[in-house]
A and B are shown apart, each in its own frame.
Chain A
């Protein structure tokens, strides 16, 4: 169980590092929001599942599950509202200029 938790933690960290790298690499807002917040979702999921696997069946992991549940409900709504706000203010989709 400890080993599974460690593997999940490292996998999640891998996703988060890639997501943060992508946010600073892309030059266009739309590709940025597509990659960044999404890769981050997978990373968050892996990290919290790893922590649940490490702490076993206890109140600690029950609370972590509450956090995960809230996050899975609220995260799509917040990224949707950012995108909706950008799209309706006439921020058009541009081509990603190649460097």
Chain B
């Protein structure tokens, strides 16, 4: 019953990513778009971790760590950029 559970969870997360992308493209304000991008980066980290478990390649986790740090940095920089109206 639980044979393909990793693959199934991966597929569902990828489908949910489409919803996060929709929020990023359609959100009425800037901050909705930022929130969508933040959700997308969280889901990408999870998807990379699942893919690393499925293929049994540890080095994908390095990519996940890097992606998390870069997503964090970009979110904070863009939020500050908007808050100060163009002055970081």
Contact = CB atoms under 8 A, between A and B. Distances in A.
Are A and B in contact, CB atoms below 8 Å, in the complex? yes
Interface of A: 2-3, 6, 9-10, 13, 16-17, 19-20, 23-24, 29, 32-33, 36-37, 40, 44, 47-48, 51, 54-55, 59-60, 63-64, 66-67, 70-71, 74-75, 77-79, 81-86, 88-89, 91
Contacts of B39: 19-20, 23, 36-37, 40
Report the 7 A-B pairs with minimum CB-CB distance, sorted nearest first.
Answer: A85-B83, A74-B72, A85-B79, A81-B79, A86-B31, A78-B75, A63-B61
Interface residues of B, number: 43
Interface of B: 2, 5-6, 9, 12-13, 16, 19-20, 22-23, 29, 31-32, 34-36, 38-39, 42-43, 45-46, 49-50, 52-53, 58, 61-62, 64-65, 68-69, 71-72, 75-76, 79-80, 82-83, 85
